[in-house]
Protein backbone atom coordinates (compact mmCIF):
# COMPACT_ATOMS: atom_id res chain seq x y z
CA UNK A 1 0.00 0.00 0.00
CA UNK A 2 1.39 3.39 -1.03
CA UNK A 3 1.36 6.31 1.41
CA UNK A 4 -1.31 9.00 1.16
CA UNK A 5 -0.37 12.61 0.41
CA UNK A 6 -2.22 13.71 3.55
CA UNK A 7 -0.13 11.29 5.59
CA UNK A 8 3.08 12.75 4.16
CA UNK A 9 1.90 16.31 4.86
CA UNK A 10 0.98 15.49 8.45
CA UNK A 11 4.35 13.85 8.98
CA UNK A 12 6.16 16.89 7.59
CA UNK A 13 4.36 19.20 10.01
CA UNK A 14 4.95 16.84 12.92
CA UNK A 15 8.68 16.50 12.22
CA UNK A 16 9.14 20.25 11.96
CA UNK A 17 7.17 20.69 15.19
CA UNK A 18 9.47 18.17 16.90
CA UNK A 19 12.50 19.96 15.47
CA UNK A 20 11.33 23.23 17.04
CA UNK A 21 11.11 21.46 20.40
CA UNK A 22 14.58 19.93 20.09
CA UNK A 23 17.15 22.21 21.81
CA UNK A 24 19.92 20.92 19.54
CA UNK A 25 18.04 21.76 16.31
CA UNK A 26 18.45 25.47 15.61
CA UNK A 27 16.92 25.59 12.14
CA UNK A 28 14.80 23.57 9.73
CA UNK A 29 13.85 23.73 6.08
CA UNK A 30 11.76 21.80 3.59
CA UNK A 31 13.86 20.83 0.58
CA UNK A 32 13.32 18.95 -2.66
CA UNK A 33 10.31 19.24 -4.93
CA UNK A 34 7.84 19.87 -2.09
CA UNK A 35 9.71 23.05 -1.16
CA UNK A 36 8.78 24.72 -4.44
CA UNK A 37 5.39 23.20 -5.10
CA UNK A 38 6.50 20.89 -7.90
CA UNK A 39 5.98 17.61 -6.04
CA UNK A 40 3.25 15.09 -6.68
CA UNK A 41 1.71 12.15 -4.81
CA UNK A 42 4.88 10.12 -5.30
CA UNK A 43 7.34 12.71 -4.00
CA UNK A 44 9.63 12.01 -1.06
CA UNK A 45 9.67 14.12 2.09
CA UNK A 46 12.97 16.03 2.27
CA UNK A 47 13.97 18.08 5.30
CA UNK A 48 17.13 19.85 6.45
CA UNK A 49 18.06 20.47 10.08
CA UNK A 50 20.69 22.80 11.56
CA UNK A 51 22.41 21.07 14.48
CA UNK A 52 24.05 22.71 17.48
CA UNK A 53 27.22 20.82 18.41
CA UNK A 54 28.37 17.41 17.08
CA UNK A 55 25.94 15.67 14.74
CA UNK A 56 26.22 12.23 16.37
CA UNK A 57 23.85 12.79 19.27
CA UNK A 58 21.18 14.39 17.08
CA UNK A 59 21.46 11.61 14.50
CA UNK A 60 21.08 8.94 17.17
CA UNK A 61 18.14 10.66 18.86
CA UNK A 62 16.23 11.31 15.64
CA UNK A 63 16.92 7.82 14.31
CA UNK A 64 15.45 6.32 17.45
CA UNK A 65 12.43 8.59 17.09
CA UNK A 66 11.85 7.61 13.46
CA UNK A 67 11.83 3.91 14.35
CA UNK A 68 9.95 4.21 17.63
CA UNK A 69 7.31 6.79 16.71
CA UNK A 70 6.96 6.51 12.96
CA UNK A 71 7.66 2.84 12.22
CA UNK A 72 10.83 3.22 10.13
CA UNK A 73 11.80 0.00 8.37
CA UNK A 74 15.40 0.87 7.41
CA UNK A 75 17.79 3.79 7.10
CA UNK A 76 21.09 4.60 5.46
CA UNK A 77 23.42 7.58 5.22
CA UNK A 78 24.63 9.71 2.33
CA UNK A 79 27.42 11.99 3.61
CA UNK A 80 28.08 15.23 1.75
CA UNK A 81 30.81 17.43 3.19
CA UNK A 82 29.91 18.21 6.78
CA UNK A 83 26.27 17.18 6.23
CA UNK A 84 24.86 13.71 6.78
CA UNK A 85 21.70 12.91 4.85
CA UNK A 86 19.93 10.12 6.71
CA UNK A 87 17.43 8.38 4.45
CA UNK A 88 14.53 6.60 6.18
CA UNK A 89 12.09 4.14 4.66
CA UNK A 90 8.66 4.19 6.31
CA UNK A 91 5.69 1.89 5.69
CA UNK A 92 3.78 2.62 2.51
CA UNK A 93 7.03 3.47 0.71
CA UNK A 94 7.18 6.88 2.31
CA UNK A 95 10.80 7.98 2.03
CA UNK A 96 11.96 10.65 4.48
CA UNK A 97 15.36 12.24 3.85
CA UNK A 98 16.70 14.41 6.68
CA UNK A 99 19.91 16.39 6.19
CA UNK A 100 21.78 17.09 9.44
CA UNK A 101 24.16 20.05 9.05
CA UNK A 102 26.30 21.99 11.57
CA UNK A 103 24.38 25.17 12.36
CA UNK A 104 27.11 27.48 11.06
CA UNK A 105 26.83 25.86 7.60
CA UNK A 106 23.06 25.53 7.44
CA UNK A 107 21.68 26.96 4.21
CA UNK A 108 20.39 26.18 0.72
CA UNK A 109 22.42 23.91 -1.55
CA UNK A 110 20.18 24.41 -4.52
CA UNK A 111 16.97 26.18 -5.58
CA UNK A 112 14.60 23.69 -3.91
CA UNK A 113 14.74 25.11 -0.41
CA UNK A 114 12.14 26.68 1.90
CA UNK A 115 13.33 27.70 5.35
CA UNK A 116 10.91 27.10 8.21
CA UNK A 117 12.86 28.54 11.13
CA UNK A 118 16.39 29.41 12.21
CA UNK A 119 19.29 31.45 10.77
CA UNK A 120 20.53 30.54 7.29
CA UNK A 121 24.12 30.61 6.05
CA UNK A 122 25.44 30.06 2.53
CA UNK A 123 27.48 26.85 2.57
CA UNK A 124 29.68 25.82 -0.32
CA UNK A 125 28.25 23.09 -2.53
CA UNK A 126 29.69 19.61 -2.12
CA UNK A 127 29.44 16.33 -3.95
CA UNK A 128 27.88 13.36 -2.09
CA UNK A 129 30.11 10.38 -1.53
CA UNK A 130 29.29 6.93 -2.87
CA UNK A 131 28.79 4.60 0.12
CA UNK A 132 30.00 1.02 -0.18
CA UNK A 133 28.92 -0.60 3.09
CA UNK A 134 26.19 -3.27 3.04
CA UNK A 135 23.50 -1.18 4.74
CA UNK A 136 24.04 1.81 2.46
CA UNK A 137 24.08 -0.35 -0.65
CA UNK A 138 20.87 -2.02 0.49
CA UNK A 139 19.36 1.39 1.12
CA UNK A 140 20.31 2.59 -2.32
CA UNK A 141 18.82 -0.58 -3.83
CA UNK A 142 15.38 -0.14 -2.26
CA UNK A 143 15.53 3.59 -2.96
CA UNK A 144 16.24 2.97 -6.65
CA UNK A 145 13.62 0.22 -6.89
CA UNK A 146 10.93 2.46 -5.48
CA UNK A 147 11.87 5.31 -7.79
CA UNK A 148 11.80 2.93 -10.74
CA UNK A 149 8.25 1.99 -9.80
CA UNK A 150 7.29 5.65 -9.46
CA UNK A 151 8.76 6.47 -12.88
CA UNK A 152 6.75 3.66 -14.45
CA UNK A 153 3.62 5.06 -12.82
CA UNK A 154 4.55 8.50 -14.16
CA UNK A 155 5.18 6.98 -17.60
CA UNK A 156 8.75 8.24 -17.66
CA UNK A 157 10.18 5.27 -19.50
CA UNK A 158 13.80 6.37 -19.83
CA UNK A 159 14.01 7.42 -16.21
CA UNK A 160 12.46 4.10 -15.16
CA UNK A 161 15.12 2.26 -17.15
CA UNK A 162 17.80 4.34 -15.43
CA UNK A 163 16.57 3.40 -11.95
CA UNK A 164 16.08 -0.28 -12.80
CA UNK A 165 19.66 -0.45 -14.04
CA UNK A 166 20.75 1.35 -10.87
CA UNK A 167 19.03 -1.32 -8.74
CA UNK A 168 20.87 -4.02 -10.65
CA UNK A 169 24.18 -2.21 -10.20
CA UNK A 170 23.70 -1.90 -6.43
CA UNK A 171 22.79 -5.56 -6.09
CA UNK A 172 25.89 -6.44 -8.10
CA UNK A 173 27.92 -4.28 -5.71
CA UNK A 174 26.42 -6.16 -2.75
CA UNK A 175 27.42 -9.47 -4.34
CA UNK A 176 30.93 -8.18 -4.98
CA UNK A 177 31.22 -6.89 -1.42
CA UNK A 178 30.11 -10.22 0.03
CA UNK A 179 32.56 -12.03 -2.24
CA UNK A 180 35.51 -9.81 -1.36
CA UNK A 181 35.70 -8.22 -4.81
CA UNK A 182 35.89 -4.51 -5.78
CA UNK A 183 32.48 -2.81 -5.77
CA UNK A 184 33.04 0.37 -7.78
CA UNK A 185 32.04 0.48 -11.43
CA UNK A 186 31.51 -3.32 -11.55
CA UNK A 187 35.29 -3.80 -11.44
CA UNK A 188 34.88 -7.07 -9.57
CA UNK A 189 31.92 -8.41 -11.53
CA UNK A 190 34.01 -10.50 -13.96
CA UNK A 191 35.59 -12.27 -10.98
CA UNK A 192 32.25 -13.54 -9.69
CA UNK A 193 31.00 -17.06 -10.46
CA UNK A 194 28.16 -17.26 -12.97
CA UNK A 195 25.77 -18.67 -10.36
CA UNK A 196 25.94 -15.28 -8.60
CA UNK A 197 25.60 -13.08 -11.66
CA UNK A 198 23.12 -15.10 -13.74
CA UNK A 199 20.01 -13.92 -11.80
CA UNK A 200 20.93 -10.32 -12.60
CA UNK A 201 20.81 -10.92 -16.35
CA UNK A 202 17.03 -11.04 -16.11
CA UNK A 203 17.11 -7.48 -14.77
CA UNK A 204 18.52 -6.14 -18.05
CA UNK A 205 15.94 -3.88 -19.69
CA UNK A 206 15.29 -5.00 -23.27
CA UNK A 207 12.95 -2.21 -24.36
CA UNK A 208 11.06 0.80 -23.04
CA UNK A 209 7.73 -1.00 -23.23
CA UNK A 210 5.83 -0.65 -19.94
CA UNK A 211 5.35 -4.40 -19.54
CA UNK A 212 9.07 -4.97 -20.11
CA UNK A 213 10.04 -2.31 -17.60
CA UNK A 214 7.79 -3.90 -15.00
CA UNK A 215 9.24 -7.33 -15.77
CA UNK A 216 12.83 -6.10 -15.45
CA UNK A 217 12.01 -4.27 -12.22
CA UNK A 218 10.48 -7.45 -10.82
CA UNK A 219 13.64 -9.38 -11.71
CA UNK A 220 15.85 -6.74 -10.11
CA UNK A 221 13.75 -6.71 -6.94
CA UNK A 222 13.83 -10.52 -6.77
CA UNK A 223 17.61 -10.54 -7.12
CA UNK A 224 17.89 -7.86 -4.44
CA UNK A 225 15.74 -9.81 -2.01
CA UNK A 226 17.72 -12.98 -2.63
CA UNK A 227 21.06 -11.23 -2.07
CA UNK A 228 19.76 -9.49 1.03
CA UNK A 229 19.04 -12.87 2.59
CA UNK A 230 22.79 -13.46 2.51
CA UNK A 231 23.97 -10.02 3.61
CA UNK A 232 21.27 -9.06 6.14
CA UNK A 233 18.57 -11.71 6.74
CA UNK A 234 16.82 -9.60 9.37
CA UNK A 235 16.50 -6.65 7.00
CA UNK A 236 15.39 -9.04 4.25
CA UNK A 237 12.50 -10.14 6.46
CA UNK A 238 11.50 -6.55 7.21
CA UNK A 239 11.63 -5.47 3.59
CA UNK A 240 10.03 -8.57 2.03
CA UNK A 241 6.39 -7.38 2.30
CA UNK A 242 7.25 -4.01 0.79
CA UNK A 243 9.47 -5.40 -1.95
CA UNK A 244 6.68 -7.78 -2.94
CA UNK A 245 4.59 -4.73 -3.83
CA UNK A 246 7.19 -3.73 -6.43
CA UNK A 247 7.42 -7.19 -8.02
CA UNK A 248 4.54 -7.96 -10.40
CA UNK A 249 5.07 -11.66 -9.68
CA UNK A 250 4.68 -11.08 -5.97
CA UNK A 251 8.02 -12.72 -5.25
CA UNK A 252 9.78 -9.82 -3.53
CA UNK A 253 12.89 -11.91 -3.27
CA UNK A 254 11.08 -14.22 -0.90
Q: What pLDDT, on a 0 to 100 scale, did the predictor assign at position 180?
A: 93
| Range from 72-81, 139-148, 153-162, 241-250 carrying the lowest mean pLDDT | 241-250
Per-residue pLDDT, averaged over 133-144, amounts to 94
| pLDDT of the residue at 1 | 79
In this predicted structure, what is the pLDDT of residue 250? 47
Give me the pLDDT at residue 252, please: 47
CA–CA distance, 83 with 13 (Å, rounded to integer): 22
Distance CA 2, CA 192 (A): 36
What per-residue confidence (pLDDT) applies to 242? 94
pLDDT given at position 111: 85
* pLDDT, tens digit (0-9, with 9 covering 90-100), for 94-130: 999 999 999 999 999 888 999 999 988 765 555 554 5
- At 245-254, the pLDDT tens digits run 987 554 444 4
Q: Please write the tens of the pLDDT for every residue from 13-70.
A: 999 999 999 999 999 999 999 998 888 999 999 999 999 999 999 999 999 999 999 9
Lowest mean pLDDT among 88-97, 113-122, 216-225: 113-122
Amino acid sequence: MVFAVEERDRLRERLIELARLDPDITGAAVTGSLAVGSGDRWSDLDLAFAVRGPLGAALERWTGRMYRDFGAVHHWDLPSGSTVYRVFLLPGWLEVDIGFTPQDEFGPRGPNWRADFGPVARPASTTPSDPADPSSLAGLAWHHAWHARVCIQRRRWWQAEYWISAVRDRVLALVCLRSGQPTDYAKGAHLLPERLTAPLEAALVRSLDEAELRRALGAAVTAFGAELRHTDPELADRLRPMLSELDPGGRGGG
